[in-house]
A and B are shown apart, each in its own frame.
Chain A
Amino acid sequence: MFKTIVRKELLENLFSYRFPLFALICVVLIPLSLFINNAQYSKRLRDYSEQVRLSDEASSGLKMQDVMSGRVAMKGFRPPAPLSIFAQGFENALPRYYQFSQDGATTGESSSGDESLLSTQGKFDFIFLVQMVISLIGLLFASDAISGEKESGTLRAMLSNRLPRDSVLIGKLAGGAVSLWVPFLAAIVLGLLLLLVGSFPLFAGDNLGRIAVLTAFAGLFILIYFVIGMAISASTAKTRVSLISILLVWTGFQLVIPKLSDMTAALVHPIRTETQVALEKSLLANTIDTEAAKELGRQYDLIFAGAKPGTADDANSPERKKWDPLRDELQLQTREKKAQQMAAIDETYEQQRRRQHNLAVDLSLISPSAAFGRVVADVCGTGDLARTKYREAVRSHHKALDNELFSKVKRTIMMHPGGRTTMAISAQPVDPKKLPKFSIASASLGEAFKTNIRSLAALLFWLIVPFAAAYIRFRKYDVR
């Protein structure tokens, strides 16, 4: 019985106008999006390689006096994520590079400045197609699954036989899912072939595995919308009502909830902007440096008061032997104090940001679309996880540079009690080749799943609950 229903559903879909239309949309749009985004990725990769080369060249000729004068900017570039061709996520919104100095890391420009206004409404990528186009088609496929058969009377004809209702429901689900999956998978295969032609590193690293995972999630997502459509269809007597309900649900899930969740979280847990935080850190650094300069000036004047001229330049003089360790100790204390207070600001900001982000995630999980988007963006290396990894890499790289480079430059600023300010700069030699290279640890698939455990649970919820609803509704469905 089950096979008979599945076969009937497949045939019915195959003969309907919807199937060729859906197949056409898939086969044209999915490969096209991959082709276009691969071209953009290749361009970003070329830009990245060129920028890294130039930066490496600048680093290899590094002179300490340039570092001392602040003329050399140490940059860390973010390589483009290959799978951004599937889900662009934060790819263009994140800074292309960070610039490192003794005072910290500042963000470079992002790629989003090159984009048109229309692209803010959603990037034309695989995920956009799945979320916005295929999900709607999935819902429409299911819109008349039950109510349509009731209207045409075929449901009565079917159920006048020895046919359990759950066989009808599961058969319809399986038939509908296969009708949606087959053209979808065919389009992906076609898209992958195009990528191979376009020299995309399909077999590099775990790219292929990740593509398989995101395809599986996309398949699950399509199924979720089909099941939601079935639940709606099983709750209405007329296809027209079912269609209107479906459009309302789709609008809520796709357009309203994901956007509203971010806005609500921002209202409930407001946080400062990154610029405000950077300004606060800069002011704090300034205050600490000024205090340190005043203390250094006071101590210097105390030690060198009444000394012969030139004593300060004589490293063997008793005053210098007293001054040098005291200066080093004060400077170390200043650096540690600054680092500690900066870290505290960063930590507080990170905690606030995380709280806001978690609330936004929790709220967005009302929509399966948001849950799907989060999981897949992380699988593609362009989601929240990639952003976190980038920030971690920046912090870690700054620390490494501080140890290997910035700490080798000693800039001693003294503000003497009389109002006079003096500055002395000294530097230890640094081998540019031994400077740490900027790199971002990529998140594994396991990490992506672990981070998105709530999103995965939400996807399961949206599969099981609508199916249960469809099942319960259909058992009592009035077929007359």
Chain B
Amino acid sequence: MNLQTPLLKADDLSKRYEDGVLALDHLNLTVPAGEVYCLLGANGAGKTTTINLFLNFIPPTTGTCYIRGIDVTKDPLEAKKHVAFVSENVMLYGNFTARQNLEFFAKLGGKTALTKEACYQVMRRVSLQEKAFEQRVKTFSKGMRQKLGISIAIIKDAPAILLDEPTSGLDPKAAEEFLEILHELRGEGRAILMSTHDIFRAKEIGDRVGIMKEGRLVLERSRDELRTEDLVKIYIDYMKSEPLIA
């Protein structure tokens, strides 16, 4: 792989659903290694559709998604080898313990020979309490589930990570802990695409922030640019502005 190749790339990506709704309109974005890209936008702006397209859960109407240079539509299984996914409501098996969930998803991610200690280490890294390791997940709080979700993403050791509103519903402490983990992952050179409503955390963690409205990426700012601009004001102005399609 060329070092310049972005790990995540959306190329002229559009999605029109069967009911005629245009959820994504010619999106172009790239996320290189060691960068956190935050997608901001209201509900229905196209953030989750973008992630679903990267995961090949839905086919694009036009355009292409690339993960590590691999066309997601053409070779979805190979592309998914290089990406981990954490959703807003981390999807886990409630009757399994944290370790059993971790082991199961790790095996799906290709990590077949995992020791119990290796699982514990990853869970320790995300600050999950030791006593929770062998507890059934159905007793977990949202914050604990989120930590376990990110540990599943870590253990997969994928170079790209997709996060769909991961801090939604988390208390401030849990959200802070979550951001710390993201910092670490960025430091390890992972490309992270995060959709979020949370402007403050997007500004705090994002190397670049994109604002989406009605399926379009209407604005993109780098961390340096945001030092001199008020992201909150920009975002609110966009949200208040006239619809893009009359």
The one of A162, A164, A479 that contacts B57, using a Cβ cutoff of 8 Å? A479
User: Is B219 interfacial (CB-CB < 8 Å)?
Assistant: no
Closest to B77 in A: A162
Tell whether, in the assembled complex, residue B80 and residue A160 are in contact, meaning their CB atoms are under 8 Å apart.
Answer: yes
Tell whether, in the assembled complex, residue B78 and residue A154 are in contact, meaning their CB atoms are under 8 Å apart.
Answer: no
Closest beta carbon of chain B to A130's beta carbon, Å: 28
Stretch in B26-34, B86-94, B190-198, B201-209 touching the partner = B86-94
> How big is the A interface, by class?
20 to 34
Stretch in A10-18, A273-281, A428-436, A467-475 touching the partner = A10-18
Stretch in B3-11, B101-109, B171-179, B236-244 touching the partner = B101-109
Docked Cα-Cα span, A157 to B87, in Å, equals 8
Docked Cα-Cα span, A160 to B81, in Å, equals 9
User: Is B95 interfacial (CB-CB < 8 Å)?
Assistant: yes
Docked Cα-Cα span, A162 to B95, in Å, equals 24
Docked Cα-Cα span, A16 to B93, in Å, equals 11
A162-B107 contact in complex given A15-B95, A154-B92, C-beta closer than 8 Å: no
Tell whether, in the assembled complex, residue A11 and residue B96 are in contact, meaning their CB atoms are under 8 Å apart.
Answer: yes
Tell whether, in the assembled complex, residue A16 and residue B109 are in contact, meaning their CB atoms are under 8 Å apart.
Answer: no
Closest beta carbon of chain A to B58's beta carbon, Å: 7
User: Is A337 interfacial (CB-CB < 8 Å)?
Assistant: no
User: Is A109 interfacial (CB-CB < 8 Å)?
Assistant: no
Tell whether, in the assembled complex, residue B78 and residue A162 are in contact, meaning their CB atoms are under 8 Å apart.
Answer: yes
Docked Cα-Cα span, A353 to B58, in Å, equals 57
Closest beta carbon of chain A to B201's beta carbon, Å: 22
User: Is A437 interfacial (CB-CB < 8 Å)?
Assistant: no
User: Is B37 interfacial (CB-CB < 8 Å)?
Assistant: no
Which residues of B sit under 8 angstroms from A159, Cβ to Cβ?
55, 57
Closest to B82 in A: A162
Docked Cα-Cα span, A339 to B101, in Å, equals 78
Q: A155-187 interface mask toward B, CB cutoff 8 Å, 1 = contact, 0 = none?
A: 111111111100000000000000000000000
User: Is B189 interfacial (CB-CB < 8 Å)?
Assistant: no
Q: Which of A35-73 contact B (CB under 8 A)?
A: none
Closest beta carbon of chain A to B215's beta carbon, Å: 16
The one of B80, B87, B91, B100 that contacts A11, using a Cβ cutoff of 8 Å? B100
User: Is B66 interfacial (CB-CB < 8 Å)?
Assistant: no
Tell whether, in the assembled complex, residue A160 and residue B84 are in contact, meaning their CB atoms are under 8 Å apart.
Answer: yes
Tell whether, in the assembled complex, residue B58 and residue A157 are in contact, meaning their CB atoms are under 8 Å apart.
Answer: no
Tell whether, in the assembled complex, residue B55 and residue A154 are in contact, meaning their CB atoms are under 8 Å apart.
Answer: no
Docked Cα-Cα span, A4 to B90, in Å, equals 20
Tell whether, in the assembled complex, residue B87 and residue A153 are in contact, meaning their CB atoms are under 8 Å apart.
Answer: yes
User: Is A480 interfacial (CB-CB < 8 Å)?
Assistant: yes
Q: A1-31 interface mask toward B, CB cutoff 8 Å, 1 = contact, 0 = none?
A: 1001000100110011000000000000000
Task: Give chain A's interface residues, CB within 8 Å of chain B.
Answer: 1, 4, 8, 11-12, 15-16, 152-164, 478-480
In the assembled complex, 8 residue pairs joining A and B whose CB atoms fall closer than 8 Å, in A order, are A8-B93, A15-B95, A16-B95, A161-B80, A161-B156, A162-B77, A164-B77, A480-B52
Q: A156-B57, A161-B105 are in contact. List 11 more A-B contacts (CB 8 A).
A: A4-B107, A12-B96, A15-B95, A154-B92, A154-B93, A157-B85, A157-B152, A160-B55, A160-B85, A162-B108, A163-B80
